[in-house]
Amino acid sequence: MKKQNLKLVRGDDVSFRFSIKDSTGQPLALKDLWFDLHLVSYQGEVLIALSTDDGSIETAEAGQMVLHFSHQQTARAEWTSANYDLQLTHDYTRV
């Protein structure tokens, strides 16, 4: 999977849309899958958490994922760089 750089601005709402395709270039069926994304400091502290459970990650269209970062989440950002970890769960099995 290709790594993407995400640029957030403190205090702003921002969304990122991604197309996710299989090895043949076809859009992946993302419906009924659960995603969690953790923005993590280099020391391992979770700075921001997104999830399909709370709607901050959307997978409404085939092969399309939208990440929504709210101004409440970015308002207290004091870091300039962080890692993220996107996890997929299907049938209660983490992939």
Burial of 63 (0-12, 13-18, 19+ CB in 10 A): middle
**pLDDT tens digits, one per residue of 5-23:** 889 999 999 999 999 888 9
What is the CATH architecture of 14-90?
Sandwich (2.60)
Cα→Cα distances 24→20, 27, 28, 52, 77, Å: 11, 9, 10, 26, 39
The percent of residues in the chain predicted with pLDDT above 90, rounded, is 65
**pLDDT tens digits, one per residue of 72-91:** 999 988 888 999 999 988 76
Domain boundaries, the chain: 14-90
